[in-house]
Each structure stands twice: as C-alpha cells, then as structure tokens.
Amino acid sequence: MLAALGAWSGPRDRSRLLVSTAHRKRALILFGIATVAFTVVLEVIDPSHVSHGSTILDFEFAGSHARAAQIIAEWGAKGRSAAHLSLLLDDANIDSELSYGLFFALAGFAVCDMARARDWQRLAAIGAVVPFFALVAAGFDASENVALLLTLAGNGGSVAPPFAAVCSAIKLTLITVVILYALCGFVLWLRARRLQPSRVA
C-alpha cells in the first residue's frame, strides 16, 4: 500500500508525507513525556500522602454528597489543601488534559495508519473512530474537575458528586478503550514482524 502511494504521488507529495509522519512522531513523544510528568506530579501531591486517608480517585467516585463530605472530613485541612491544589493543577492547567488526550489520540492514529498500510481492514476501520475517544475523555475530565472543585468548596450540593463520578467513569472507560486499541495494534505489529521472513544480505 505504501509502495502504491509512493508510485501515485510525486516527490513533493512524498516529502510532505514524510514531514507529517516525523511531526506526528515528535508530537507523540512530547505529549507522552508531558503525560508522564503530569501523572507523577499529581501522584506526589495526592491528599492521601498527607492525610493517610482517601485518594483523589476515591473522591472522584464518591458518588454522593454524604460520601464526599466524609472523605473531605477525613482529609483534614492539609488533605483538603492538597486536594484543592491537585484539582486546580488538573483543571486550571488545560495542558494536563490536552497532553494525555492528544497523546492517546496520536497513539491511536498511529495504529490506524499502520493498519491501513498493512491492509488490516478491521483494525483500520475501528481506528477511524477510537482515537477520538481520548479527546472526548479529556473533556469529561475537565467537567469532572469542575464538579469536584465545587464539592470541595461546599457548593456542589447533591448534584456535583454523582456528576463527577459519572464523568470519571466515562473518562476511564474511553481511555481504556483507546489503550486497548493501541496495545492490540502493537501486539499485531510485533507478531507480523516475527512472522516476517528474515532478509539475507
């Protein structure tokens, strides 16, 4: 398929394709580094480390005003401050959502491109949709953080905690689907390489 593309397109088209591929690889690496960095920072400032109580993930899935209030009370002043900082960094700094959203989206698009090049039609067809799940997940992450900040400030009422839990569940489900798609493509790529006959110089 790539050979056919090269035969059909002129030198200028081929150079544009190579530049586009190089830019995508570079972006994938940069967003991957940013995703790891944000994850490490958020883990370090997790309120459970200062309060020895619930984690920020437990707070995300509190699901009710009563459970959220219990977690906030368990945290104490230091834990609440850490939770507030964590949510502010994750929500106010839009780069955190964009970094992992774009990283997983680009990973999915890379698998989709590989599937098209190798004529893996089912994987390519799925890849036309699945990578966008990562961007949608980032949107749910932002909505979840707003609801959690309102809950932490005592202004969420009975609506914000279950809303945050639903957003978090959807976010994790979508990201999991994208990760499984990328892993599936990686495994198939490794399998294809192992089955490919070695070239004798």
Number of structural domains in the chain: 1
Instruction: Match 């978090």 to its residue by tokens.
Output: 168
Domain assignment present for residue 33? The answer is: yes
**pLDDT recorded at residue 167:** 96
| 8-state DSSP, 196 | S
Task: Please say if the pLDDT value at position 197 is more than 90.
Answer: no
**pLDDT recorded at residue 168:** 95
Domain assignment present for residue 197? The answer is: no
Question: What average pLDDT does this structure show over 47-75?
Answer: 91
**pLDDT recorded at residue 21:** 62
Q: Buried b vs exposed e over 171-190: b needs ≥16 C-beta within 10 Å?
A: bbebbebbeebbeebeebee
- Structure tokens, 71: 């977690």
Query: 129 falls in which pLDDT band (50, 70, 90)?
Result: very high
Domain assignment present for residue 31? The answer is: yes
pTM for this structure? 0.76
Task: Please say if the pLDDT value at position 200 is more than 70.
Answer: no
**pLDDT recorded at residue 97:** 65
Question: What average pLDDT does this structure show over 64-86?
Answer: 92
Assess contact for 167 and 138: CB atoms under 8 A. Answer: no
Most confident range, picked from 64-73, 99-108, 183-192: 64-73
Question: What average pLDDT does this structure show over 116-127?
Answer: 90
Query: 198 falls in which pLDDT band (50, 70, 90)?
Result: low
Sorted by sequence, the CB contacts under 8 Å of residue 108 that are 6+ apart come out as: 127, 130, 131, 133, 134, 178, 181, 182
Q: What is the mean pLDDT of the chain?
A: 81
- Structure tokens, 144: 């979840």
Domain assignment present for residue 201? The answer is: no
Backbone angles phi, psi at 6, to 5 degrees: -65, -35
**pLDDT recorded at residue 51:** 82
Domain assignment present for residue 195? The answer is: no
Domain assignment present for residue 198? The answer is: no
Domain assignment present for residue 200? The answer is: no
Domain assignment present for residue 5? The answer is: no
User: What is the tens place of the pLDDT at every residue in 93-104?
Assistant: 555 666 788 888
User: What is the tens place of the pLDDT at every residue in 138-188?
Assistant: 899 989 999 999 999 999 899 999 999 999 999 999 999 999 999 999 898
Domain boundaries, position 41: 13-189
